[in-house]
Amino acid sequence: MAEQFAFQCQYCGTSYNHPQANCPYCGERQPFTREELEMYAAAQHGYDDQAEESLDDGYYDDDPYAAHDHDPNHLPYEDPHYQDDYLPEEEPYPDEMYAQPDHFDPDTQYVDDYADDPYLPNEEAYHEPTYYNEAAYQDETVYADDPNRHYTRDYQQYTQGGYQPAVEPAAPAAAPAPRRLTWRRAGLGCLGILVCIGLFYGGLGLLAVREGLQERAVLVQDEADDHYQKGLEHLDNQELDLAIAEFELALSINPNSPEIREELRQAQQLTQSQPTATSQTLSNAAAKMLIEAKAQLDEEDWATAAETLTDIRDLDPTYEAAEISDLIFEANYQLGLQYVDAEEIEEAQRAFEQALAERPDDPKAVVAHTKALLYLEGLLVEPVDAEQAVDNFGQLYEEDKAYLDVEQRYMQALESLGDILFEETEWCQAKEQYLAAQEIKPSRLLETKITNVTERCETDDTQTDTPEAETGTAEATEEAATPSTGAPTRPAATSPALAALDEAATGTETDDATAEPDSTEEATTEPAVDAAPVASALGSIIYSKYNPYEHRWEIVSLPADGSGSPRVLVTNGQMPSLSIDGTLLLYRTDRPDSIGLHIYNLTTGEDDRITIYQEHISPKWGPGNTDYIFSARELGTGRWQYFQGFADGKGDPNILGDGRTPAWSPKGDLVAYQGTDAQGNNPGIYAVPFGGGDTIRLSTHESDRSPAFSPNGSQIAYMSTRNGNWDIFAVGTGGGDTPRQITTSPGNDGLPTWS
């Protein structure tokens, strides 16, 4: 019979049939409570007592209670099932089943030797039972009513050598403990998920890029095919020039196409083989282009229409000259208005100039061009010359209050000019500027300023009635000022700029080493000739102003002591610069038929045009009367560059470098300018040797501009807003010096000059 076990060790898998505190094999603690062990011990103790009583009872000795008929020839102990019939309901230890009364081995302990002792080695826990003679079990009889007839003797084996102990059943392999989730495993899992997500989206991105490149290639191919087909159409119509142009454009898009290259070669060969186009051929081509231009005008594609019409004129100047001129005017005029609506004033001014080239006296084009010019000039001088900005924006404000943001800019220019006059203690004139700004756009700040200057102005008026005021020096009067342009101008004799000019003219020494001019006026000592204004003892001031009555800019001369009246030197001129000897006046003109830089000879009265481009601005003389320097913005890129020009007008100007507001040192060895490094970074004032060399960064703020050399060339003064408003700074030209702030007033100080 196979032995049944009720319990199993969870550590080594050993099976046993009653609760024990420790495993009989490995000695590990078993999961039984103390109450369970005590209960089993009590039950076992009661069973042992009952078993001892039953052994003394002769009830079981009678043969009728045997499991088979009594046969004296068949001893009970020879029956293998004999002992099974007398087993109690609860099986005893296995040793009790193996032990027989007549074969009891005195060396084998009965029960106590097989007690579970966790402290005994494995080989000492059990003892080999006494071997039985195999012959005693030959031809044994198994009865049908034997309840154990179906059991097999798994507990023992019989071999030729005798009895072998039963092999204990192998303990089932313990199930592996579930792996616990750790932070490291969780982190690795999350990382794996993120990597998968990244690979997924990366793959999507690469797929999208690939599809985009394919789509772009298709679009490029389609564009090349479109030009190729147009070229074939022109070739069929014998329009060889247009066909060549289309083939070249298609070839630039798809240079690997042999078909396009072959058609281009054939078209070029046909062009060389055909005779020169007659006037009739040109007229036919011009007629087709005119149809295209009119269609573009109907579609309000003004820029393309103007370009097409210009091409017609270049192709055949005699073809419908009057109609072409009218259409060019209309296209450029409408294009200028379109640029104004887009707030692209520079492009608008160019378009209006092209329109005026066709109709110089057209009223609407003249007005539109003047507005654009006033606005651009106002933007140019607004940071450095508040008075001129007031003139520009004031005139534009009177013409058209709704023109872009001219109302706001005019108000700001008036307030800035009032602040400058306040710093110069010109209280009454500052009050006029504040009042004019208050009328445009009232504010509490302006009210406070008006109240402040009103009290000072009344006090100043009271002092002018005293004898001390009558005997004072150079006081400005309205008669000595320039004609009014909508805002009062500063008295010439009391400004800091004129104080520096007085000092330079008389040769006297002052306490100040630098001046703080805040306008573009330049002092000169003009020769007393008929072509120039009569000079006073203190010299003259030459400056530009806008004439609202004539609607033009003028360069005028005014005696520095305020004793005379302004005299116009040049009409349609601005940005004057006087040569060192005081004989040549370099200026910029905006006259449509003579745009560019001019030189006016104050001795002879001759005026010569030396450049032809409107972009040339801010001219300044060099060390002599032969060379000058100016700046211009490059068309297309908008990059600022500075140039060297020649007074005789012969030869094109030389590009010296990238930058604006340049200045030439008195010795002619250095050029200072506002710019950046070669990579477009690190803005500030730079100095470079004339003719080329390493640049030296002198200042570090992006607003630093308008450098001016000292008489000996060792220092440079410039203007900057690094502290919030415009102030004057000075720095050495050798590099490495820390700029020194010269002015600290709350107003704006700009455009420095040296005395």
In this structure, is residue 139 part of a structural domain? yes
613: closest CA among 598, 602, 601? 598
Q: Which carries the bigger pLDDT value, residue 585 or residue 533? A: 585
How far is 374 from 485, CA to CA, in rounded Å? Answer: 13
Residues 749 and 631 in one domain: no
Sequence-distant (6+) residues with CB within 8 A of 718 are 685, 699, 704, 705, 706, 707, 708, 728, 729, 730, 731, 752
Q: Answer yes or no: is pLDDT of 683 > 90.
A: yes
Over residues 628-640, mean pLDDT: 86
Please indicate, yes or no, whether residues 124 and 22 belong to a single structural domain of this protein: yes
- Asked whether residue 445 is domain-assigned, the answer is no
Helices (H) and strands (E) in the chain, counts: 17, 24
pLDDT tens digits along 689-709: 987 889 999 999 999 999 999
* Residue 610 shares a structural domain with residue 681: no
Verify that 654 and 674 share a domain, yes or no.
no
**Which of 626, 658, 690 represents a domain boundary (last residue)?**
658
Question: Does residue 118 share a domain with residue 51?
Answer: yes
Average pLDDT of the segment spanning 551-558: 87
Whether 414 shows a pLDDT value over 80: the answer reads: yes
Q: What is the pLDDT of residue 470?
A: 38
CA torsion sign, 451 to 378 to 554 to 633?
Answer: positive
462-495 pLDDT tens trace: 655 544 433 333 333 333 333 333 333 333 333 3
| Statement: residue 589 has pLDDT above 80 | yes
Reported as a pLDDT band with limits 50, 70 and 90, residue 601 is: very high
The Cα 647–Cα 636 span in angstroms is: 28
pLDDT tens by residue, 207-227 = 888 888 888 778 888 888 888
| Per-residue pLDDT at 47 | 61
- Residues 44-53, mean pLDDT to the nearest whole number: 61
What pLDDT does 240 receive? 79
The residues that bridge with 697 in the sheet, in sequence order, are: 686
Indicate whether 442 belongs to any domain: no
701 and 745 share one domain: yes
Instruction: Taking residues 296-312, report their average pLDDT.
Output: 89
- Work out the average pLDDT over 721-734: 90
Same domain, 619 and 686: no
- pLDDT above 70 (res 125): no
Mean per-residue pLDDT over the chain, rounded:
74
In a domain, 15, yes or no: yes
CA–CA–CA angle 742, 746, 749 (5° rounding)? 50
Residue 753 belongs to some domain of the structure:
yes
pLDDT of residue 446: 80
- Work out the average pLDDT over 161-176: 55
Contact partners, residue 37, CB within 8 Å, separation at least 6: 19, 20, 21
Same domain, 577 and 694: no
45 or 156, which is more confident?
45
Please give the model's pTM, rounded to 2 decimal places.
Answer: 0.33
pLDDT, tens digit (0-9, with 9 covering 90-100), for 648-665: 877 788 889 999 999 988
Can you give the pLDDT at residue 715?
Answer: 92
Shared-domain flag, residues 739 and 713: yes
Answer whether residue 16 is part of any domain. yes
Which range of 118-127, 369-378, 477-486, 490-499 scores highest in mean pLDDT? It is 369-378
SS3 213: helix
* Distance, CA of 262 to CA of 564 (rounded, Å): 78
**What is the mean pLDDT of the segment spanning 112-138?**
48
Mean pLDDT of 86-96: 48
Q: Which of 228, 248, 269 is the last residue of a domain?
A: 269
Are 561 and 641 contained in the same domain? Answer: yes
Q: Sorting pLDDT into bands at 50, 70 and 90, what band is 144?
A: low
What is the predicted pLDDT for the residue at 238?
A: 79
CATH number of domain containing 571? 2.120.10.30
Beta strands in 560-626 (DSSP E): 567-571, 573-578, 584-589, 596-601, 607-609, 617-621
The confidence band for 130, taking pLDDT boundaries of 50, 70 and 90, is very low
Q: What is the pLDDT of residue 684?
A: 94
Q: What was the pLDDT predicted at 471? A: 35
pLDDT above 90 for 687? yes
Q: How many domains does the chain have?
A: 4
| Same domain membership, residue 632 and residue 555 | yes
Please spell the DSSP secondary structure of 92-110, one letter per residue: --HHHHH--GGG--TTS-S
Looking at per-residue pLDDT, the higher value among 370 and 625 belongs to 370
Name the band, by pLDDT with cuts 50, 70 and 90, for residue 236: confident
pLDDT at 140: 53
> Nearest to residue 579, comparing CAs of 611, 624, 534?
624
Span 362-390, average pLDDT? 88
Most confident of 451-465, 498-512, 615-629: 615-629
Provide the percentage of residues in the chain whose pLDDT is more than 70: 69
Strand partners, 546: 553
**Residue 746 sits in which domain range?**
668-755
Residue 73 pLDDT: 58
Report if residue 58 sits inside a domain: yes
Q: Which two tokens stand for residue 537?
A: 């003892």
Predicted local distance difference test score (pLDDT) of residue 728? 92
Q: Are residues 683 and 641 in the same domain?
A: no
Q: Are strands 640-646 and 654-658 parallel, antiparallel or unpaired?
A: antiparallel
Residue 500 pLDDT exceeds 50: no
Q: Which residue, 243, 269, 295, sits at the end of a domain?
A: 269
CA distance 300 to 298: 5
Instruction: Decide if pLDDT at 321 tops 50.
Output: yes
pLDDT in the model for residue 468: 40
Residue 735's pLDDT is 87
Specify the pLDDT at position 168. Answer: 54
List % helix, strand, coil for the chain (3-state, nearest 5).
Answer: 40, 15, 40
Q: Which residue would you say has higher pLDDT here, 487 or 716?
A: 716
For residues 413 and 472, is the Cβ–Cβ distance under 8 A?
no
E-assigned strand segments in 474-561: 522-524, 540-547, 552-559
* Structure confidence at residue 693 (pLDDT): 85
pLDDT at 145: 57
Is residue 610 domain-resident?
yes
Q: What is the CA radius of gyration of the chain?
A: 58
Read off the pLDDT band of 637 (50, 70, 90).
confident
Residue spans of alpha helices (H) in 254-342:
258-273, 279-298, 302-315, 321-341
